């Protein structure tokens, strides 16, 4: 018995010794039962702190302090421009700006970071680097595929500055086992918006109060990248107050440089102020005394705009008050609107996008050549299979080159002799479309000096344009894919910042209807002297929706719009009009003027639609919906609760879809035309003049519709929600960057959270935006002819016939006769 007890004690002591002698790697999740040992390219690092792989010439990265989930700091500032930021591929960089007041910049700050990565990312060779104002503040392994990894870094004094600062996340990622180009699309790291922020140590809200209007950008955004402006106006129901509310909303959105903003109009102070919220108290002195209890001495008996303490003990609020509404309108125009106003006939040089990308996008209004260094793309080398960089440029609202013209990318780069010819290539994407593909054919590598790559202008659009440059470089080691083949090796491709993007002269004329122009630059409202606004009803919900839309348009237009709030459409006159409201609030005869059927007012709100599954939902239904959309399937009648089709009906449908031998011949010929000459039979049709009235499809929650008024030829744009109670929430969804950029055509119908259906215009009209010029009109005519090839072919045929008849008559009169 003693012997057995001795053996048990000996086994226990041996187990403890093994545990002490074999340190376990640091884990964030509880220890689970050990399984088969994973395949490791390199042994784990002996220390959890990351070390620099370079010699002592490079500074060591700032140590990262791993923290367990703890309660929120007394004060924090979210940093991300969206709910999450995803870094994709073998290398990716995202940079943007954030703003601090003087007190915030000098405070004791921690940078909290939370991220999660794909399972296939190799932690031994993958790193996430964070830089603030160009200085590296953190470098850590990307090794958290099962849960969010949270880290906190103490920032040194003097690193941050008053006003704009920049933050950059750089990811270098390698695949665990796969060496194909396709596997690079499986690599991702997601930065979490709720866990990535600036945390103030030993601070309270009162320590960092906003002091002046110059501090408005420091309001920032919440964990989803959204800035909320809560306008508290006890007199909002009065007609005289609405214009001031709309002017304040636009001016604050511009002065605050907010990337995504929503406006909430209320009559009472909010009980809770979250990060990214600016509270504005707007009204007469009498109304403000009743709301706040007492006014500052400076606001007694005169107009006042400035920050004052909030009675709800939250962040300071912006007080805008005067003796009467005329005094308020003068105050708003002088102190809020005037500093951000610009003449409509003067082109801007850049488009402000610092809230989600730095540098700002250059605004191209004429022929221009831009170096990559000006677009924020430095000289860089790639050791991976796919290198990708992003550039952003902006086009004016009257950009008209959807079928004519080419830009040129003059590439300065080099690729090594290890790159396999034929298998490697360069691709250029514009707004998600493949714009150019160039193979790399030299077997011994090559040095590219101002190598021209043509990019059709049809991929560009008014407003923001994202250009992706990708270099796919395969090597022999990728084909064998032995152990360690995915690790970084010799440089395969080099991109120099002397690469030039050259934009030629393009046609400049406004097109109506075109919702893409209002989404891009606010055109034509951005160039109008006055804009008419018609709301379905003057209440807080309609005012909030209209103010949110105007703030978004003003941000894209880079100037506040002069609004005339009207009771109906009869007084619109010779002005472009904006219409906002729910379907049931619209007067009879209004919707057909923007291309929507009039019976929508009564039928749409009462219709019982099925729940629409959108890509951001969860469950198997999402997968089925996405697959059906990609494959072009339609729901069967029996799936929708209807009657199953007969055998003859199914046979007729298949016969019509397949056609006979002649139909298949024409289909094949049409595909050959598209592949060879970028032409199709669809382009031969003449423009139609009969536009059908739109009725919303199942699941539609909001319609954006645009048309030209037949009497004045001015543009009317309507934003119509399905129900009164969902108007404000529906507008808040469509002004998100993804949905807003998706607007195009004459009608865009929004379904669910991120699903939009675009209906192109059957016919368009032109709006002159520049003084008449023969050079510009030649480009306009060339683009229009390229868009209407049928008319071009007919005109060419008539011209040839006329030339032949004229030549025959001339020879008959002047030539020799027998």
Domain residue ranges in the chain: 65-207, 210-341, 350-499, 511-528+571-609+689-767, 774-814
Instruction: Output 414 or 24, whichever has higher pLDDT.
Output: 414
Q: Is 394 helix (H, G, I), strand (E, B) or coil?
A: strand
Q: How far apart are CA 732 and CA 222, in angstroms?
A: 15
pLDDT at residue number 606 = 87
Give me the residues paired with residue 128 across strands.
Answer: 140, 171
Query: How far, in Å, CA of 502 to CA of 407, rounded?
Result: 6
pLDDT in the model for residue 793: 76
Does residue 681 sit in helix, strand or coil?
Answer: helix
Mean pLDDT for 491-507 is 96
Q: Return the pLDDT at 5.
A: 47
pLDDT on residue 211: 87
Q: Grade residue 34 by pLDDT with cuts at 50, 70 and 90.
A: very low
**CA 494/CA 413 separation, integer angstroms:** 5
Answer yes or no: is pLDDT of 622 > 50: no
Per-residue confidence band for 711, with pLDDT thresholds at 50, 70 and 90 = confident
Task: Report the pLDDT value the prediction gives residue 743, as an integer from 0 to 100.
Answer: 93
Quickly state the pLDDT bin for 691 (edges 50, 70, 90): low
The secondary element (H helix, E strand) that includes residue 787 is: helix 774-787
What per-residue confidence (pLDDT) applies to 632?
A: 43
Q: Can you read off the two tokens belonging to residue 259?
A: 């990337």
pLDDT value at residue 794: 80
In this structure, are strands 531-535 and 493-495 parallel, antiparallel, or unpaired? unpaired
pLDDT at 203: 61
pTM of the shown model:
0.81
Question: For the domain bounded by 350-499, which CATH number is listed?
Answer: 2.60.120.260
Q: Could you tell me which residue, 51 or 401, shows the higher pLDDT?
A: 401
Q: Could you tell me which CATH class the domain 210-341 is placed in?
A: alpha beta
Query: Tens of pLDDT along 532-554?
Result: 999 999 899 999 999 999 999 99
3-state secondary structure of 19: helix
Least confident of 362-366, 565-569, 643-647: 643-647
65-207 topology per CATH: Jelly Rolls (2.60.120)
| % of the chain exceeding 90 in pLDDT | 60
Mean pLDDT of the chain: 83
- 246: pLDDT strictly greater than 90: yes
Q: 3-state SS of the chain: helix, strand, coil percent to 5?
A: 30, 30, 40
Give the C-alpha separation, 785 to 793, whole Å.
9
> Residues 6 or more apart from 54 whose CB is under 8 A from it?
none
Largest pairwise CA distance in the chain:
139
CA dihedral 745, 747, 752, 753 (to 10 degrees): 40
Residues 653-672, mean pLDDT to the nearest whole number: 64
Residue 18 pLDDT > 70 = no
The predicted model gives 490-519 an average pLDDT of: 95
Choose between 623 and 440: higher pLDDT. Answer: 440
DSSP-derived letter for residue 335 is I
Q: What is the pLDDT of residues 370-382, one digit of tens each?
A: 999 999 999 999 9
Round to the nearest angstrom and report the end-to-end CA distance of the chain. Answer: 139
Q: For residue 653, give the H/E element and its range.
A: helix 647-658
Per-residue pLDDT at 639:
41
Lowest-pLDDT choice from 146-160, 269-283, 612-626, 670-684: 612-626
Q: Say yes or no to pLDDT of 594 above 70.
A: yes
- In this prediction, residue 631 has a pLDDT band, given cuts at 50, 70 and 90, of very low
Do the beta carbons of residue 84 and residue 345 sit within 8 Å?
Answer: no
> What does the pLDDT look like over 74-116, one tens digit per residue?
488 999 999 999 999 999 999 999 999 999 999 999 999 999 9
User: Residue 481: pLDDT band by 50, 70, 90 thresholds?
Assistant: confident
- Its sign, for the CA torsion 286, 288, 291, 297, is negative
State the pLDDT at residue 337: 95
Q: Which residue has the higher pLDDT, 484 or 385?
A: 385
pLDDT at 3: 47
Q: What is the pLDDT of residue 666?
A: 64
Q: Please state, in angstroms and rounded to a whole number, the distance separating the CA atoms of residues 412 and 451.
A: 7
Least Cα distance to 173 among 113, 114, 129, 132 occurs for 129
pLDDT digits (tens, 9 = 90+) for 637-656: 444 334 566 676 776 666 56
Confidence of residue 675 (pLDDT cuts 50, 70, 90): low
Q: Average of pLDDT values for 506-520?
A: 94
Region of poorest pLDDT, from 193-202, 211-220, 794-803: 794-803
pLDDT at res. 104? 92
Q: How confident is the model at residue 316 (pLDDT cuts 50, 70, 90)?
A: confident
What is the helix (H) or strand (E) element at residue 199, kind and residue range? strand 197-200
- The pLDDT, as a whole number, for residue 566 is 92
- Give me 559's structure tokens: 């100037």
Fold agreement (65-207, 350-499)? yes
* pLDDT at residue 305 tops 60: yes
Residue 682's pLDDT is what?
57
Given this model, what pLDDT does residue 65 score?
Answer: 41
Lowest mean pLDDT among 40-49, 383-392, 416-425: 40-49
Report, as an integer, the average pLDDT of 577-586. 95
pLDDT score for 69: 38
Say what the pLDDT of residue 207 is: 56
């Amino acid at each position: 018995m003693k012997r057995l007890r001795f053996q048990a004690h000996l086994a226990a002591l041996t187990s403890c010794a093994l545990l002490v002698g074999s340190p376990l790697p640091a884990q964030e999740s509880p220890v689970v039962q050990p399984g088969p040992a994973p395949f490791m390219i390199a042994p784990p690092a002996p220390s959890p702190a990351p070390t620099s792989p370079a010699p002592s010439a490079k500074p060591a990265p700032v140590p990262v302090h791993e923290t367990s989930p703890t309660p929120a700091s007394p004060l924090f500032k979210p940093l991300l421009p969206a709910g999450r930021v995803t870094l994709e591929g073998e290398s990716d960089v995202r940079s943007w700006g954030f703003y601090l007041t003087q007190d915030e910049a000098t405070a004791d700050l921690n940078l909290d970071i939370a991220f999660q990565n794909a399972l296939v990312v190799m932690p031994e060779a993958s790193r996430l680097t964070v830089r603030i104002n160009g200085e590296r503040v953190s470098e850590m392994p990307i090794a958290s595929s099962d849960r969010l990894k949270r880290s906190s870094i103490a920032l040194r004094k003097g690193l941050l500055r008053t006003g704009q600062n920049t933050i950059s996340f750089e990811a270098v990622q390698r695949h665990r086992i796969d060496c194909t180009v396709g596997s690079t699309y499986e690599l991702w790291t997601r930065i979490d918006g709720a866990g990535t922020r600036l945390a103030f140590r030993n601070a309270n809200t009162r320590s960092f109060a906003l002091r002046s209007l110059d501090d408005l950008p420091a309001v920032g955004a919440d964990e989803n990248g959204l800035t909320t402006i809560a306008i508290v106006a006890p007199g909002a129901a009065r007609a005289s107050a609405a214009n001031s509310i709309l002017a304040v909303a636009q001016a604050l959105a511009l002065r605050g440089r907010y990337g995504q903003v929503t406006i909430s109009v209320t009559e009472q102070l909010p009980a809770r102020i979250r990060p990214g919220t600016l509270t504005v108290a707007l009204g007469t002195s009498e109304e403000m005394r009743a709301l706040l209890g007492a006014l500052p001495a400076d606001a007694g008996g005169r107009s006042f705009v400035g920050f004052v303490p909030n009675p709800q003990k939250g962040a300071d609020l912006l007080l805008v008050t005067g003796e009467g509404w005329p005094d308020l309108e003068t105050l708003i125009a002088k102190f809020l609107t005037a500093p951000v106003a610009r003449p409509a006939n003067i082109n801007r040089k850049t488009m402000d996008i610092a809230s989600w990308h730095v540098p700002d996008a250059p605004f191209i209004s004429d022929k221009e050549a831009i170096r990559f260094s000006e677009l924020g793309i430095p000289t860089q080398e790639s050791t991976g299979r796919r290198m990708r960089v992003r550039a952003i440029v902006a086009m004016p609202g009257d950009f008209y080159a959807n079928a004519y013209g080419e830009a040129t990318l003059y590439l300065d780069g080099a690729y090594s002799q290890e790159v396999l010819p034929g298998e490697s290539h360069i691709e250029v994407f514009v707004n998600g479309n493949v714009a150019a593909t160039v193979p790399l054919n030299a077997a011994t590598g090559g040095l590219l000096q101002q190598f021209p790559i043509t990019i059709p202008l049809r991929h560009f659009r008014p407003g923001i344009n994202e250009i992706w440059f990708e270099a796919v470089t395969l090597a022999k080691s990728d084909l064998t894919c032995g152990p360690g083949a995915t690790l970084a090796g010799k440089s395969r491709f080099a991109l120099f910042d002397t690469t030039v993007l050259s934009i030629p002269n393009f046609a400049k004329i406004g097109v109506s209807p075109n919702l893409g122009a209002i989404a891009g630059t606010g055109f034509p409202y951005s160039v109008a002297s006055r804009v008419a606004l018609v709301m379905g009803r003057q209440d807080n919900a309609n005012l909030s929706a209209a103010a949110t839309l105007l703030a978004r348009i003003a941000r894209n237009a880079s100037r506040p719009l002069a609004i005339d709030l009207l009771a109906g459409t009869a007084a619109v006159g010779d002005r472009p009009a904006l219409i906002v409201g729910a379907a049931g609030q619209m007067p009879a005869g209004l919707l057909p003027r923007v291309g929507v059927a009039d019976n929508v007012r009564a039928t749409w709100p009462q219709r019982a639609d099925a729940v629409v599954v959108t890509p951001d939902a969860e469950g198997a239904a999402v997968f089925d919906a996405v697959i059906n959309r990609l494959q072009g399937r339609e729901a069967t009648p029996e799936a929708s609760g209807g009657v199953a089709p007969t055998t003859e009906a199914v046979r007729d449908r298949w016969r019509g879809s397949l056609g006979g031998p002649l139909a298949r011949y024409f289909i094949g010929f049409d595909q050959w035309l598209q592949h060879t000459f970028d032409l199709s039979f669809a382009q031969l049709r003449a423009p139609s003049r009969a536009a059908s009235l739109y009725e919303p499809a199942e699941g539609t929650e909001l319609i954006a519709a645009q048309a030209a008024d037949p009497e004045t030829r001015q543009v009317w744009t309507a934003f119509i929600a399905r129900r009164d109670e969902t108007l404000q929430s529906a507008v808040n969804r469509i002004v998100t960057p993804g949905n807003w950029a998706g607007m195009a055509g004459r009608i865009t119908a929004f379904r669910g959270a991120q699903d939009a259906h675009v209906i192109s215009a059957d016919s368009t009209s032109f709006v002159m935006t520049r003084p008449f010029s023969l050079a510009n009109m030649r480009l306009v005519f060339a683009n229009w002819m390229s868009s209407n090839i049928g008319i071009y072919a007919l005109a060419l045929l008539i011209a040839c016939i006329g030339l032949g008849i004229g030549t025959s008559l001339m020879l008959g009169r002047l030539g020799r006769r027998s």
